[in-house]
Structure 1
């Protein structure tokens, strides 16, 4: 008789634990899905790949949800998972760029408004930054993370992150200052 009581009690605990995990997980997805998708899209520039990355990120998050002790760190925890998932994408697939013409790789979509042109230019300039400067800048601008949070995610000293952010902004400013004026170029 005592054995049946223990089994029912442990089953109830497991069920309760699962529902608590489910509630935590659903809250994470609801609160952070848009931020993760925006960051994934910035990394990949592809809607489908971004959706897949976010889905894989949340799948891994579900499996490791018990390791998340501080709910305040959830966003940086998920961004770290997403970054690793994106890196895995390249580990699995090797690209042979020798087969393709560089001109066929460039964006075929032509920007239509001045704002789109500026956004396209800025993306290109950010993409040209060395990774050590680009990554903290994207995490700050797109992800909205503080210098301290970025330092934890990238496993760097906060002062190093702040220096890299400063240098990244200066390099973008220099690129803007060196860009020839193209007024009226895009107007009919």
Structure 2
């Protein structure tokens, strides 16, 4: 084996890694429930948790605030779930585009909708995610809290601030 390669290779994660076994024990079940809620599939949830724990293990030495570990792990699960969709690119079809039926999906192309979408995109992610989950996906404050690994009060604060920032961006009062 090449010694230069052996020196740069990452060691395999083990439960003996300092702090790793405690993370698995303390948060494994919560991570699995959250991953299942995101994916809706038991096997996919298991894969998400496994990928999450691997990423957490690799970054454990960079974790600065041990009190924020649960939110950190939930964020990793959420990002792993998003990566799952990024990896699954659709198959290219041999059907000519002229033969593909028109979609029945309609989009609001008004100026107001454009301005609102642009304003939402300018929000910081910590405010945009809860707002989109509530307005577009219809989730309750508690469901958003569970999904993002926050408290219900924290979600309420972020929603309030998101609306304030949107009003400021759109030049409204209130």
The normalised TM-score by structure 2 is 0.51
Contact 1:38–1:142 under 8 Å retained in 2: no
Matched, 1:38 2:33: yes
1-structure distance, mates of 2:50, 2:38:
15
Other-structure match for 2:20: 25
Alignment of 1:1-188 (within 5 A): 22-95=17-90, 130-131=136-137, 134=139, 137-141=142-146, 145-147=150-152, 159-161=157-159
Where structure 2 has 5 or more consecutive residues not aligned to the other structure, the ranges are 1-12, 92-132, 163-174
Aligned residues: 110
1-structure distance, mates of 2:63, 2:153:
18
Name the SS for the 1:140 alignment partner.
helix
Contact 1:39–1:142 under 8 Å retained in 2: yes
2-structure distance, mates of 1:93, 1:63:
24
The normalised TM-score by structure 1 is 0.48
**Large movers: runs of 4+ above 6 Å:** none
1-structure distance, mates of 2:29, 2:147:
11
Q: Deviations over 1:21-77 (max 9, x none)?
A: 813011001100000000000011100000000000000001100111221100000
Question: Deviation at 1:145?
Answer: 2.8
Question: Deviation at 1:93?
Answer: 0.2
Q: Deviations over 1:130-155 (max 9, x none)?
A: 14x539643424676314655xxxxx
Other-structure match for 2:171: none
Q: Give the superposed CA RMSD.
A: 3.6
2-structure distance, mates of 1:159, 1:70:
21
1-structure distance, mates of 2:160, 2:64:
27
2-structure distance, mates of 1:50, 1:65:
22
